[in-house]
């Protein structure tokens, strides 16, 4: 298995590599759902790797299970 391959933990088939992208400035994960997006809180995990205008994060998608795995 190469570095850029990922097996789906649900069905064990190869996942497709792609990018989660946003038209906004940042992508982040948090336990709390924000009412308004002003700035992420310190507990939030930033997922964005791209430039200010084109945030993205590499991810692996299983179209069969409809699951996406993101590494941050």
Interface with Zn ion (CB under 5 A), residue from 65, 68, 71, 72: 65
Number of residues near Zn ion (by CB under 5 A): 6
Closest CA to 30 of 40, 38, 20, 19: 40
Q: Shortest gap between Cβ of 4 and Zn ion (angstroms)?
A: 17
The binder of Zn ion chosen from 8, 47, 57, 61 (CB under 5 A): 8
* Positive or negative: CA dihedral 63, 50, 2, 71: negative
Chain residues that interact with Zn ion, rule: CB under 5 A:
8, 10-11, 62, 64-65
């Amino acid at each position: 298995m190469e570095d850029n391959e990922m097996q789906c933990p649900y069905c064990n088939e190869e996942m497709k590599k792609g990018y989660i992208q946003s038209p906004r400035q940042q992508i982040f994960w948090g336990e709390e759902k924000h009412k308004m997006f002003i700035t992420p809180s310190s507990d939030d995990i930033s997922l964005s790797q791209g430039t200010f205008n084109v945030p993205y994060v590499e991810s692996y998608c299983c179209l069969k299970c409809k699951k996406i795995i993101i590494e941050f």
